[in-house]
Amino acid sequence: MSRSSIRPATDNIPPALTASRPRVALRRLATHARARLVGVGPRVRRAIDVVAAGAALLVLTPLFLFVAAVIKAQDRGPVLFHQERIGKHGRRFRLYKFRTMVRNAEALKAALAAERPDGLSGARFKLTRDPRVTPFGRILRKLSIDELPQLYNVLRGDMTLVGPRPPIWAEVVSYTPRQLRRLQVTPGLTCLWQVGGRSDLTFEQQVELDLEYIDRVTVGQEVVILLRTVPAVLSGRGAY
């Protein structure tokens, strides 16, 4: 498995590279960066993504059908939740998850964030006990089953198996230039902070681990991250 990652030539990036203008920042980041090809190349990596994601989707079909039936039975709402996310170099794509919240969860988010500022960590809003999450949704989140439809995103090429988790635009607009570096590579299904604490980590700790992945992680270490994902998910630590 391999990865094409990009490091910014920070000495040459102009002062206009600010988080207040993320679209401009991303374009200039790409312009003033140099590519570093690791391992066997992006084509082999893409082939591994397609084979692994396709096989996993086939094997998990019975589980998907069961989860869909329970979600539909609980409130007759949609089975899947989709949301626009930001991928490599600012590319927008639609990310899929099993719905774990009440149907009007997005409409309730602004009021909830105002009432519970303790849920804010940097650009991220996350509550340990979010009242919008359904009882069955808590089980799905605890075991990360809600994330499994993103295998379809991997199959499409929006995501890869290992890489920084894709943020929403509302988070990206408040990124600092350093935090924007998370968007230098294709977002992943799992990552360093997913196997090292998940939502128990602060936003800045997650950023630090994402940058460590971009700068230092090798192909062999990516395999280790994938293997560590299974016990991390089964433990339920940091999942809510």
* pLDDT per residue of the chain (240 residues) written in tens, 0 to 9: 444 443 443 443 334 334 445 555 555 554 443 334 344 578 888 999 999 999 999 999 999 999 999 999 998 999 999 999 999 999 999 999 999 998 887 777 777 766 666 555 555 666 677 888 999 999 999 889 999 999 999 999 999 999 999 999 989 999 999 999 999 999 999 998 888 776 778 889 999 999 999 998 888 889 999 999 888 887 766 555
Residue 84 lies in a domain: yes
- Domains identified in the chain, total number: 1
Residue 66 lies in a domain: yes
* Host domain of residue 195: 3-235
Strand partners, 195: none
Q: Which pLDDT value is given to residue 114?
A: 66
Q: Which pLDDT value is given to residue 188?
A: 95
Q: Which pLDDT value is given to residue 19?
A: 43
Q: Which pLDDT value is given to residue 177?
A: 94
Give the chain's end-to-end CA distance (angstroms, integer): 30
Q: HSE of 99 in the Cβ direction (CA atoms, 13 Å)? A: 22
Residue 240 lies in a domain: no
Q: Which pLDDT value is given to residue 195?
A: 84
* pTM, entire model: 0.76
Residue 136 lies in a domain: yes
Residue 91 lies in a domain: yes
Q: What tokens does 55 get?
A: 């096989």
Torsion (CA) 126, 130, 135, 139 in degrees, nearest 10: 20
Q: Which pLDDT value is given to residue 117?
A: 63
**Beta strand 188-190 pairing with 160-162:** parallel
The DSSP code for 184 is G
Burial of 110 (0-12, 13-18, 19+ CB in 10 A): exposed
Residue 170 lies in a domain: yes
Burial of 130 (0-12, 13-18, 19+ CB in 10 A): buried
